[in-house]
């Protein structure tokens, strides 16, 4: 283990993160009563320019007046390249900071972007005498952001998670796709011909590199990596397939751009009862081994050691969080 150890972000259940437009009060009410672990109340892409001011008011009223059932609440501000951003931060921080947990920074491009929002939040907290410190979520959704993802991840002690914004990332990199978060039938490889001259075409995951790189930057800095949107909310099996591959790569949650995707994300990113039982068995076996002065032991015909403890602890901890949340 390196002498440099990343300080982990505050532990939060982050299996599902539901996007909710701040301009729609009915959607805000439904999200508060829903089953998402986290919600981000949107002031950016889902809100027309003419509705930005009212959306801020809606969000402030919603977080102060509605019962959010213990959910983690984030607010996605507008980009730093717009004139809406500073009012987003000021109004949300001054009127709802005790009710929100996170600010989501879209299109994070450089560490300086995070520094700028950090400075503004810090000044507001100091001026108002707030003791609660709001955390940051950053969306990596441009080529610039991916180039600087490691610096962005380390840019502030407020940082908690990195999210992959696949739609804007595709536009930024001029990717030849119009889908949001799904596979592309043209991204694949053709096998050599068999003895009969037949060749198979195997689809690939065009977002593998981007997600894997984001996961490394997140984990190296103690942050949560979260997969972004899947646009076709009428395709639950497609959503689950994309969520599973992101989970395998190290993500611990995924966006839900429609309420019917919340349960899917919660399902995919929850450890099964069998996995939790196995993890607990590992912890129990290692505890006995350590008492006997052993660094490793076999369990069900497999070698387990100190590294196994860390993996098992993650699963058991998550199971405890899910139970405590009642979701």
Q: What is the pLDDT of residues 206-239, one digit of tens each?
A: 999 999 999 999 999 999 999 999 999 999 999 9
Q: What percent of the chain has pLDDT over 90?
A: 76
pLDDT, position 65: 97
Is the pLDDT at 285 greater than 70? The verdict is yes
Which pLDDT band holds residue 279 (cuts at 50, 70, 90)? Answer: confident
Task: State the average pLDDT for the chain.
Answer: 93
Structure tokens at 239: 């959503």
- Position of tokens 């150890």? 5
**pLDDT tens digits for range 116-167:** 999 999 999 999 998 889 999 999 999 999 999 999 999 999 999 999 999 9
Nearest residue to 215 via CA among 203, 223, 207: 223
pLDDT, position 295: 66
Which pLDDT band holds residue 312 (cuts at 50, 70, 90)? Answer: confident
* Of 168-182, 220-234, 252-266, the least confident: 168-182
Is the pLDDT at 193 greater than 80? The verdict is yes
Find out whether 102 and 158 touch, Cβ atoms under 8 Å.
Answer: no
pLDDT, position 296: 67
pLDDT, position 156: 98
- Position of tokens 């070698």? 303
pTM for the predicted model, two decimal places? 0.92
Q: What percent of the chain has pLDDT over 70?
A: 99
Q: Where are the alpha helices (DSSP H) in 187-261?
A: 208-220, 236-249
Find out whether 14 and 243 touch, Cβ atoms under 8 Å.
Answer: no
Find out whether 73 and 22 touch, Cβ atoms under 8 Å.
Answer: no
- Position of tokens 């959503």? 239
Structure tokens at 192: 């050599």
In terms of pLDDT, which residue wins out, 85 or 275? 85
Find out whether 211 and 144 touch, Cβ atoms under 8 Å.
Answer: no
Is the pLDDT at 246 greater than 80? The verdict is yes
Nearest residue to 22 via CA among 74, 79, 93: 74
Distance CA 175, CA 167 (A): 10
pLDDT, position 177: 86
pLDDT, position 1: 67
How deeply is 76 buried, as exposed, middle or buried, from its count of CB atoms within 10 A (0-12, 13-18, 19+)? buried
Based on its alpha-carbon atoms, the radius of gyration of the chain, rounded to whole angstroms, reads 21
């Amino acid at each position: 283990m390196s002498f440099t150890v990343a300080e982990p972000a505050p532990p939060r259940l982050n299996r599902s993160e539901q996007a909710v437009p701040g301009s729609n009060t009915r959607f805000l009410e439904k999200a508060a009563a829903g089953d998402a672990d986290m919600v981000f109340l949107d002031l950016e892409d889902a809100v027309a320019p003419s509705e930005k001011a009212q959306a801020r008011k809606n969000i402030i009223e919603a977080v102060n007046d509605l019962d959010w059932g213990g959910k983690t609440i984030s607010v996605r501000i507008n980009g730093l390249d717009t004139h809406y951003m500073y009012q987003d931060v000021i109004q949300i921080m001054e009127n709802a900071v005790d009710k929100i947990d996170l600010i989501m920074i879209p299109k994070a491009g450089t560490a300086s972007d995070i520094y700028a929002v950090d400075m503004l939040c810090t000044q507001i907290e100091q001026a108002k005498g707030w003791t609660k410190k709001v955390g940051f979520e950053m969306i990596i959704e441009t080529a610039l952001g991916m180039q600087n993802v490691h610096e962005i991840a380390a840019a502030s002690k407020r940082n908690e998670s990195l999210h992959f914004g696949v739609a804007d990332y595709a536009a930024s990199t001029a990717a030849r796709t119009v889908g949001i978060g799904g596979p592309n039938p043209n991204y694949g490889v053709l096998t050599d011909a068999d003895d009969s001259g037949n060749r198979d075409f195997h689809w690939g995951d065009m977002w593998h590199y981007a997600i894997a790189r984001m996961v490394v930057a997140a984990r190296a800095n103690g942050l949560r990596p979260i997969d972004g949107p899947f646009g076709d909310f009428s395709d639950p099996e497609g959503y689950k397939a994309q969520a599973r591959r992101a989970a395998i790569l190290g993500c611990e949650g995924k966006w839900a751009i429609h309420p019917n995707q919340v349960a899917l994300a919660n399902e995919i990113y929850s450890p099964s009862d069998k996995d939790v039982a196995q993890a607990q068995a590992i912890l129990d076996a290692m505890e006995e081994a350590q008492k006997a002065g052993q660094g490793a032991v076999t369990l069900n015909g497999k070698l387990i050691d100190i590294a196994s403890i860390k993996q098992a602890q993650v699963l058991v901890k998550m199971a405890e969080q899910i139970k405590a949340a009642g979701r």
